[in-house]
Structure 1
Amino acid sequence: MTEPYHIDTSSNWRRQAVEDWLFGLDHLSPGMREKVVTAWVSAWASSSHERLEDMPFSPGENPYRLMDHVNDVTRAGLDLGARAAADWKVEFDPEVLVPILILHDVDKPLIYGREGNAGVHAQLFHELPHGVIGGMLLKELGFAHTIVSTVATHATNAPFHGRNLEAHVLHYADLFAADHAFRQMGKTPLYLRHGR
Structure 2
Amino acid sequence: MTEPYHIDTGSNWRRQAVEDWLFGLDLLSPPVREKVVTAWVSAWASSSHEKLEDMPFSPGSPTYPLMRHVNEVTRAGVDLGKRAAADWGVEFDPDVLVSILILHDVDKPLLYAKEGDGAGHTPLFHELPHGVIGGMLLKELGFPHTVVSTVATHATNAPFHGRNLEAQVLHYADLFAADHAFRQMGKTPIYLRHGK
Same fold? TM cut 0.5: yes
The Cα shift of 1:28 comes to 0.5
Misfit runs of 4+, over 3 Å: none
State yes or no: 1:27 paired with 2:32.
no
Whether contact under 8 Å (2:49, 2:109) holds in the other structure is: yes
The Cα shift of 1:12 comes to 1.4
Structure-2 residue corresponding to 1:90: 90
The Cα shift of 1:136 comes to 0.2
Secondary structure at the counterpart of residue 175 of structure 2:
helix
Identity %: 85
Q: What pairs up with 1:1-196 in 2 under 5 angstroms?
A: 1-196=1-196
User: Which whole-Å CA distance do the structure 2 matches of 1:192 and 1:52 have between them?
Assistant: 30
**Structure 2: which 5+ runs fail to align?**
none
Whether contact under 8 Å (2:39, 2:138) holds in the other structure is: yes
Q: CA RMSD in A?
A: 0.8
Q: Which amino acid aligns with 2:158?
A: A
Aligned residue pairs: how many? Answer: 196
TM-score (norm 1): 0.98
Q: Cα gap change, 1:53/1:149 in structure 2, threshold over 3 Å: closer, same or farther?
A: same
TM-score (norm 2): 0.98
Q: Which amino acid aligns with 1:148?
A: V
**Structure 1: which 5+ runs fail to align?**
none
The Cα shift of 1:11 comes to 4.5
Whether contact under 8 Å (1:61, 1:117) holds in the other structure is: no
Whether contact under 8 Å (2:11, 2:41) holds in the other structure is: no
Secondary structure at the counterpart of residue 60 of structure 1:
coil
User: Which whole-Å CA distance do the structure 1 matches of 2:30 and 2:11 have between them?
Assistant: 15
The Cα shift of 1:6 comes to 0.1
